Structure 1
């Protein structure tokens, strides 16, 4: 099917749709256009991951634990973790 034929087919289908379904089509087209504009944005450059850093370098990212479920969370991690594969 050529581009022109496809456009004509879509226009005929749109002409036959009731208003509520036409609104759905419009919403769908809006979502397609917003996805394409998102994918065209330039990627943000991040600082490279430094290799050979020490655990002490990670302290700046550490916070304080809030809540009383630390032991439960640690137990869950130990129960569900798997061996790393390299």
Structure 2
């Protein structure tokens, strides 16, 4: 089951819960989020990119995709991306 299908399944399940059980699910999700480091905090630990680098420079360190979850990863990107503000 890919991420999109799983999200749809969970949404359907949530729609059928009583308000009391929905509150329990919300508390559980809050506890999961509190115990999981955020992506933003891990990004702050990365060193800044050096200026003057080109795409050709990046290709020197880029590898090939290994694994069978490329489609799931792409779906995740499409589901979670937001508009960029300049």
> What band does the TM-score fall into relative to the shorter chain?
0.3 to 0.5
Question: What is the TM-score of this pair, normalised by structure 1?
Answer: 0.43
Question: What is the TM-score of this pair, normalised by structure 2?
Answer: 0.43
Which of the two has higher C-alpha Rg?
A: 1
The structure with higher relative contact order (CA 8 Å, sep 6+) is 2
